[in-house]
Amino acid sequence: MNLNPLRESELIETRRHFFRKSATGIGTAALASLLNPKLFASPAEPNKPNKKVDTGVVGGLPGLPHFAPKAKRVIYLFMSGAPSQLDMWDYKPQLQKWFDKDLPDSIRNGQRITTMTSGQKRFPIAPSKFKFAQHGANGTWISELLPHTASIIDDISVIKTVNTEAINHDPAITYIQTGSQLPGRPSTGSWVSYGLGSMNNNLPSFVVLHSTVNGGFGGQALYARLWGAGFLSTRYQGVSLRSTGDPVLYLSNPSGLDANMRRRMLDTLGELNDERFKSVGDPEIQSRIAQYEMAYRMQSSVPELTDIKDEPESTYELYGQEAKKPGTFAANCLLARRLAERGVRFTQIFIRQWDQHGNLPNDITRQCKIIDQPSAALIKDLKQRGMLDDTLVIWGGEFGRTVYCQGKLTRQNYGRDHHPRCFTKWMAGGGIKPGVLHGETDDFSYNVTENPVHIHDLNATILHCLGVNHERLTFKHQGRDFRLTDVHGKLVKEVLA
Amino acid sequence: MKKNFKNTIIYSFLMLALFLPTLQAEEEVDFSRDILPILSNNCFACHGPDEAERKAGLRLDLEEGAFLELKSKQRGIVKGDSSKSAVFQRLITDDPDDRMPPKETGKQLSKKEIALIKKWIDSGAKWGKHWAFVAPKKSSVPKKLPQAQAINEVDLFIQMRLKALGLSQEAEADRATLIRRLTLDLTGLPPTVQEIEKFLNDKSKNAYERVVDRLLASERYGEHMARIWLDAARYADTHGLHLDNERGIWPYRDWVINSFNKNQPFDQFTIEQLAGDLLPNSTVQQKVATGFNRCNVTTGEGGSIDAEYYVRYAVERVETTSTVWLGLTAGCSSCHDHKFDPMTQKDFYQLFSYFYSLTEAAMDRNVLYPPPSIKAPTAEQIAQQEKLNKDLQVAQKNLQSTLISLKYEDPHVGQKLDEIKKQDRVWFDDKLPEGAKPSGNELGNSWKFVDKIGKEKVFSGKNASVRTAAGLSQHFFTDAKNKLVIGKNDSLFAYVYLDPKNPPETVQLQFNAGSWEHRAFWGADKGHAPGRNNHTNLRFGKLPELGKWVRLEVPAEKVGLKPGAQLNGWAFTQYGGTVYWDKAGIVTVAPLSKEQLESLSIWEQYQAKTQYTQVPGPISAILKIQKDKRSKDQTTQLTRYYLEHVNPSTQAKLAQPRQQQETIKKKLSDIQKAIPSTLIMEDRKTPRQAYILERGEYTLKREKVDSKTPDWIAPVVKDQPANRLGLAKWLVQKDHPLTSRVTVNRFWQQLFGTGLVKTSEDFGVQGEHPTHPELLDWLSVNFIETGWDMKRFMKMLVMSATYRQSSIVQKEKLAKDPENRFYARGARFRLDAEVIRDQALRVSGLLVGTIGGKSVKPYQPPNLWKPVGFGGSNTSVFRQDKGDKLYRRSMYTFWKRTSPPPSMSTFDAPDRETCQVRRARTNTPLQALVLMNDVQFVEAARKFAERVMKEGGKTVEERLVFAFRSTLTRNPSAKEQKALLALYNASLKDYQKDKAQAVKLLSVGESPRDPSLNPEELASWTMVTHLILNLSETVTKG
């Protein structure tokens, strides 16, 4: 569906003409609304944000950001299923001596565990089979699974003590994404869109990308609520950018209706809608005219975004050849950079299949091969483009994995159950102090011994980097002021720049 | 002064939505309207009901707290004197440390609010209760204003208020507008051209009312009302959490439709949904109704802890029930006393207790019908069953009369039957018995066959079954139709070959005669049910010899199979090794020959010799009586049995009537199988004890509590049980302050876009004050007094002049009342997602009007479920339906909670994960994309275009008018017509140049294109109808 440039300029001319000739000045109003659709936000929408005068930013709440933001945008690499901190980040060499010995009761301390292993007669320790080495200026121990990530260690800040209360995937991922284990709350990205608005009028402000693993999907389920808007307006929900079919749902014109016809249809539609506005005076109509124009512009801006033909070969040397295959984690990391370049506020990439209850060494090796190079490439790429300074990048899952083995244990093979009490995430870029290693866990990577970071703390910190006081980004719903961090959340000052 | 006041009012409602003035406002400060919201918003968090958070001993949510002496010896409020009232002084002090509310709360009182507090204290600080917690009294109806058009009481209240604001209502909208508005509002569909014509030409005085009555009587009404209710009920077709597998609960959805259509009074509607199962002699449908509280999301995620989920489900049910009937946000109180409303944690857990004792399991096990569930035949199925049962009776009579008419003479009277020998009767060899369902350790059919064993042959026929196992393993079948009847002293046999290179430790035969408790084994006691040493598992010796075929024989009696027992299944079991099995059956008496069967007397002798094991009990009883001692009846009964079931010649003569009977029985059994089940509520016999849970944590049990309703809302209803039925009756008692208000407010919201209380989910202190409190109270009392009659109530609203006004937006009114909260113009807002799609289906003629049934899967873009679905989920692959199912009303679209249909979500349909009583109405570019490009809408446009060409007249102009009117009910203006004509002509030119393009457009969607129509013209008309379906006016109710 290539636009004919000549025809296109004629059409723009026609539209200008249309707006100019409109006697009541609505044309101008409509044009202004293209730049700021919020000006015509529906009055019937509950708790709509007020209009905001701010060049370049559309929507958002008045008074936000609360203070000068360090990061303008977020890229969140979400490892769904919960990667094992013990095999990637949390180095516990002394555990080799504990092979197949029982986890001391003093460590578990009666804490609840899932019913998948609570029936086990024993909780034998499974030391990681992977080799660790020290990297970077502060000598962070990193497993051999992550050679590329090790190369960016001085640019990222690693938190080893993230923790949560949820012990199963659905509640845990809902919790970290929305601040509540139960469905119904807005996701982090939708809070950010709601509070800060969009920086690109032709693209959604919150984009979600799903990654294939070896060409297919599988693993723990994901849920629309993870990028949903909860009780916020649906306009803030994440929009999935898909690797097959229309990148944005319903983007392409139907067959037999080409771009010229679409333009003509929209011109007539605008004309008729405007007629209607003149006779009934409802400002919602103007808003709808504007939304159609934006939809039309998305029809060209989105394909331009996802068309990676213009990327030089060096891009693929950086991200890996997999980045040429749409839908892979590597391709999604590259796309995230392109989205960031275009001002998309919040991009979240999901990759599944980290739920390794058994056969962990084999599966985690596969997963790390998929994510290691592209994750590191994203940081390097943002840095070389000068964008790392104002882009916050987050890596990690919904909880960690147990030091004790689930199922059969050998030196070479083992499985791990869900572990909520400590797990590792890293953050980098805008607002984050590089090269920090934060928090310490006990010898079994079971409990936090120093500097716990609850997921509410993590979310508070994410918002802080964006110039948002997490206690003040609220939405009144059912008589109560709700926020992403519920009634909790402390900033993790140690990782802040 | 008066004039000034008016200005103040206009100013205040523009600037401060909180202070919506009321007529009575005048000079007086109203505690509930003016003061309580300020206190609640700014003070209650520290000086409210929540004891744990209370500061300085000051409590402002209760009258007795506000006037007490504080720790500081000051009084919070001194009636009549703001200068001595600490509360007021702390509002105005300059000392930033003392000033309230504290800076860190980020809250601040406006000057106006401070002035109100002062005025209130100085005028005596008259206390009151939050308005919504006082039962409504029927307000006196305002007098009719001289110039206003008032049709019923609704108008009098509304117009009185408008007068005070200096506004007046618009004239009645034109008929074309009215019929569209009304039909969309009451049925969720647009009117047909015929319906429009009929109304426009109806000269009778009550033409409008006739349309109202027709629409209320239409079954579309029930569907539309139900669709809205189902948001509140959080109805969906999947469980919602983790695997998000399919859930079978659509009979509940159909119950709701039916209830609205038969106009079930709202109190009954309430009682049945909350407690239908507890009603005395409750019907199936009353139980189905309780699906309301089985619509919550549930989990089956491995690793979850039951106790945690029992609590979560009960909490969710309290929250939902509370939002829907009480308009209160109970959820806050699950963790702590409510910060704003008087709902304490104890109140909450007492409500919680009602929902904490279900028989449901915490884990839904990802099955379609997690118990408790019930078989819920549809009305159609019940009717079919009744008819078939009648047919069956007739067929049986037919059979009987044929039987009676049969003449029979025994051809072999007096012939003696020789001694009968036992012989092998094979039950199965190369093929399993008819109907047998093969199974075993592996998923699916576990049976493997070989045609030789190395160089050895199989024992019999073409093949033998084989199994190699590491431990205990087996293959088996059940459900054989042709059952194996056990006779006296019969033995069961099978042939076995053990691989000498890999012998098993055990071989075992298991027989199913209803249960598997009939086993025989050889070798070690390592088969199923080891250690029994009785007929349920008996050892018959050591392992058979290896490397050769050996016959195993088991006397049936020894494994508990008595004469007359009937086998339907057989298992070949082993522990380890490789085992081959062949030919199995029974050693039993030889059957009679066909010729012998022709003789009743021979057959009788045979029965005696086989100990009457092959005939039903009553017949064997007769047979045991000596021939000459049998009564006439007995002889007749025996003969008839014989002729009907044994004698080959007479059986042949009965074949036709019997076939008839079998066909009916088959149909009956098919219906029985097709009857859907649905989830229902059911309480445990012994209730599960509820506790107050600290911070809502399931492990932190505190004080024990039992089911009880909060007294501060309404007193407990006498003589009602302390269960859900008592709760439901408490909700619908006459003096309940909330149920009726909350309900009529939702009806108002449905028609007018916003409720009289805007926060329709929250009538608590933090909710918005009603714009028209007197009207709200009048409506809610009226609703109760007229028997909670929903159709009557809806009729009253749509009959009002307020409803019928023109919705044209005058600039001046827009400025004064942008949200139209005072109704100086008719309601105008975007249609709901479902209505937008249904409208397109209706005007295109595609709509399939079937009501109810299993949800359907119309078009959705590919690859939506796979990227998010759990591999093992039965909803991870989307299989689009075909044919009629593509065109059902949107309320029947299969709702997968974790990936809802995007064309619905885009237009603000809620996710159905939680209860929702108010939808957002956004206006976004993604909505434009849906209407522009969704197959469903493009297909609708081209089918609509076919209608335009076939039904819309001959000329292009006529057709344009038809297309326009079919959707918008009105005629296009000259300008509109010109623009559409230009579009048509330009499109026609393009499609005539490129016919292939036209055919492509006309191939969108699965419905066939009418080949009799010229494709280029049809495609051009499609452009026109496509545009019409995209008009702002089309997606708007005006």
pLDDT above 50 for B375 = yes
Task: Please give the pLDDT value at position A58.
Answer: 80
Of the residues B570, B589, B608, the one at which a domain ends: B589
Cβ distance B868 to A167 less than 8 Å, yes or no, reads no
B918 contacts in chain A (CB < 8 Å) = 46
B974 and B956 in a single domain? The answer is yes
CA distance B318 to B324: 10
- Beta strands A346-351; A453-454: pairing state: unpaired
Q: What value does the mean pLDDT of chain B take?
A: 92
Task: Please give the pLDDT value at position A145.
Answer: 98
A51 contacts in chain B (CB < 8 Å) = none
A262 and A403 in a single domain? The answer is no
Query: What phi and psi values does residue B317 have, to the nearest 5 degrees?
Result: -70, -35
Higher-confidence residue: A19 or B491?
A: B491
CA distance B413 to B814: 105
DSSP track, B583-648: EEEEEEEPPPPHHHHT-HHHHHHHHHHTTTTTS-HHHHHHHHS-GGGS-HHHHHHHHHHHHHHT-H
Cβ distance A244 to B1031 less than 8 Å, yes or no, reads no
User: CA neighbours within 13 Å on the CB side: how many for A208?
Assistant: 27
Cβ distance B1031 to A276 less than 8 Å, yes or no, reads yes
Residue whose entry in the numeric block shows the structure tokens 């073409």? B462
CA distance B197 to B178: 13
Cβ distance B863 to A114 less than 8 Å, yes or no, reads no
Which of B329, B871, B918 minimises the CB distance to A479? Answer: B329
| Domain contains B1022 | yes
CA distance A319 to A290: 38
B407 and B553 in a single domain? The answer is no
Cβ distance B1023 to A261 less than 8 Å, yes or no, reads yes
Cβ distance B922 to A255 less than 8 Å, yes or no, reads no
| Domain contains B840 | no
Name the domain count of chain A: 2
Q: B735: buried, middle or exposed (CB in 10 Å: 19+, 13-18, 0-12)?
A: exposed
Which of B761, B933, B997 minimises the CB distance to A252? Answer: B933
Q: B904: buried, middle or exposed (CB in 10 Å: 19+, 13-18, 0-12)?
A: buried
DSSP track, B874-912: TTSS-----GGGGGB-GGGB---TTS--HHHHTTT---S
- State the smallest CA–CA distance between residue B916 and chain A in angstroms: 9
Positive/negative CA dihedral, B279, B280, B286, B287: positive
B767 contacts in chain A (CB < 8 Å) = 479
Domain CATH code at residue A421: 3.40.720
**CB under 8 Å to B373, separation ≥6 — which residues?**
B248, B677, B678, B679, B680
| Domain contains A50 | no
A358 and A406 in a single domain? The answer is yes
| Domain contains B824 | no
- State the smallest CA–CA distance between residue B67 and chain A in angstroms: 26
User: Closest Cα to residue A230, out of A189, A269, A280, A202?
Assistant: A189
- Beta strands B538-539; B519-523: pairing state: parallel
B605 and B646 in a single domain? The answer is yes
| Domain contains B619 | yes
- Beta strands B484-485; B464-478: pairing state: unpaired
Residue whose entry in the numeric block shows the structure tokens 């004039």? B3
CA distance A29 to A40: 10
A219 and A108 in a single domain? The answer is yes
A338 and A450 in a single domain? The answer is yes
| Domain contains A106 | yes
B443 and B522 in a single domain? The answer is yes
Residues 129..188 of A with a Cβ closer than 8 Å to B: which? 167-170, 182-184
Which of B818, B914, B983 minimises the CB distance to A184? Answer: B914
Higher-confidence residue: A20 or B679?
A: B679
Stated pTM of the model: 0.82
B608 and B640 in a single domain? The answer is yes
- Residue of A50, A235, A263, A353 to mutate for B, most B C-beta atoms under 10 A: A235
Which of B299, B873, B979 minimises the CB distance to A272? Answer: B979
- State the smallest CA–CA distance between residue B969 and chain A in angstroms: 14
- The pLDDT of B326-354, averaged and rounded, is 87
Cβ distance A256 to B1000 less than 8 Å, yes or no, reads yes
Q: How many CB atoms lie within 10 A of CB B949?
A: 19
Task: Please give the pLDDT value at position B27.
Answer: 55
B545 and B628 in a single domain? The answer is no
pLDDT above 50 for B24 = no
A251 contacts in chain B (CB < 8 Å) = 929, 933
Residue whose entry in the numeric block shows the structure tokens 């809620």? B910
A282 and A394 in a single domain? The answer is no
A204 and A79 in a single domain? The answer is yes
User: Closest Cα to residue B135, out of B784, B796, B749?
Assistant: B784
- State the smallest CA–CA distance between residue B383 and chain A in angstroms: 41
Closest alpha carbon within chain A to B873: A221
Q: What is the pLDDT along chain A (497 residues), one digit of tens a residue?
A: 333 434 443 444 344 343 333 333 333 333 333 333 333 333 333 333 333 333 468 888 999 999 999 999 999 999 999 999 999 999 999 999 999 999 999 999 888 888 888 888 899 999 999 999 999 999 999 999 999 999 999 999 999 999 999 999 999 999 999 999 999 999 999 999 999 998 988 888 999 999 999 888 888 999 999 999 999 988 899 999 998 889 999 999 999 999 999 999 999 999 999 999 999 999 999 999 999 999 999 999 999 999 999 999 999 999 999 999 999 999 999 999 999 999 999 999 999 999 999 999 999 999 999 999 999 999 999 999 999 999 999 999 999 999 999 989 999 999 999 999 999 999 999 999 999 999 999 999 999 999 999 999 999 999 999 999 999 999 988 777 899 999 899 999 999 99
A297 and A406 in a single domain? The answer is no
pLDDT above 50 for B5 = no
HEC letters along A306-325:
HCHHHCCHHHHHHHCHHHHC
Query: What phi and psi values does residue B497 have, to the nearest 5 degrees?
Result: -135, 120
Which of A167, A245, A289 minimises the CB distance to B863? Answer: A245
Q: Do residues A250 and A204 make contact, with C-beta atoms less than 8 angstroms apart?
A: no
Rg over alpha carbons for chain B, rounded to the nearest Å, is 38
| Domain contains A183 | yes
A280 and A335 in a single domain? The answer is no
Q: B626: buried, middle or exposed (CB in 10 Å: 19+, 13-18, 0-12)?
A: exposed
Q: Do residues A206 and A192 make contact, with C-beta atoms less than 8 angstroms apart?
A: yes
B435 and B541 in a single domain? The answer is yes
Of the residues B113, B128, B143, the one at which a domain ends: B128
Q: Do residues B502 and B577 make contact, with C-beta atoms less than 8 angstroms apart?
A: yes
Range of the domain at A305: 11-34+256-314
Least reliable range by pLDDT among A163-177, A481-495, B328-342, B762-776: B328-342
| Domain contains A237 | yes
Which stretches does DSSP call E strand in B376-421?
none
Q: Supply B219's token pair.
A: 């079954």
| Domain contains A174 | yes
Residues 364..383 of A with a Cβ closer than 8 Å to B: which? none
- The pLDDT of B651-656, averaged and rounded, is 89
Task: Please give the pLDDT value at position A44.
Answer: 35
Task: Report which secondary-structure segment, H or E, holds B449.
Answer: strand B448-450
Give yes or no for A246 touching B (CB within 8 A).
yes
Name the domain count of chain B: 4
A486 and A366 in a single domain? The answer is yes
Higher-confidence residue: A456 or B531?
A: A456
Positive/negative CA dihedral, B16, B17, B23, B28: negative
| Alpha helix (H) residue ranges in B690-735 | 724-731
Report CA-CA distances (Å) from B380 to B674, B675, B853: 12, 10, 11
| Domain contains B611 | yes
Of the residues B128, B146, B163, the one at which a domain ends: B128
B498 and B391 in a single domain? The answer is no
CA distance A220 to A200: 33
B464 and B566 in a single domain? The answer is yes
Range of the domain at B103: 2-128
- The pLDDT of B900-923, averaged and rounded, is 94
CA distance B48 to B130: 14
Closest alpha carbon within chain B to A294: B925
B22 and B80 in a single domain? The answer is yes
| Domain contains B503 | yes
B406 and B517 in a single domain? The answer is no
A134 and A235 in a single domain? The answer is yes
| Domain contains B323 | no
Q: How many CB atoms lie within 10 A of CB B959?
A: 23
Cβ distance A224 to B930 less than 8 Å, yes or no, reads no
Give yes or no for A43 touching B (CB within 8 A).
yes
Domain CATH code at residue B485: 2.60.120.430
Which of B329, B866, B997 minimises the CB distance to A256? Answer: B997
B627 and B603 in a single domain? The answer is yes
pLDDT above 90 for B970 = yes
- State the smallest CA–CA distance between residue B571 and chain A in angstroms: 31
Report CA-CA distances (Å) from A426 to A91, A160, A332, B318: 15, 8, 19, 40
Quickly state the pLDDT bin for B86 (edges 50, 70, 90): confident
- State the smallest CA–CA distance between residue B245 and chain A in angstroms: 11
A330 and A454 in a single domain? The answer is yes
| Domain contains B820 | no
**CB under 8 Å to B127, separation ≥6 — which residues?**
B31, B63, B66
Cβ distance A183 to B913 less than 8 Å, yes or no, reads yes
Task: Please give the pLDDT value at position B443.
Answer: 67
Give yes or no for A301 touching B (CB within 8 A).
no
| Domain contains A48 | no
| Domain contains A399 | yes
Q: Supply A449's token pair.
A: 């011994």
A337 and A192 in a single domain? The answer is yes
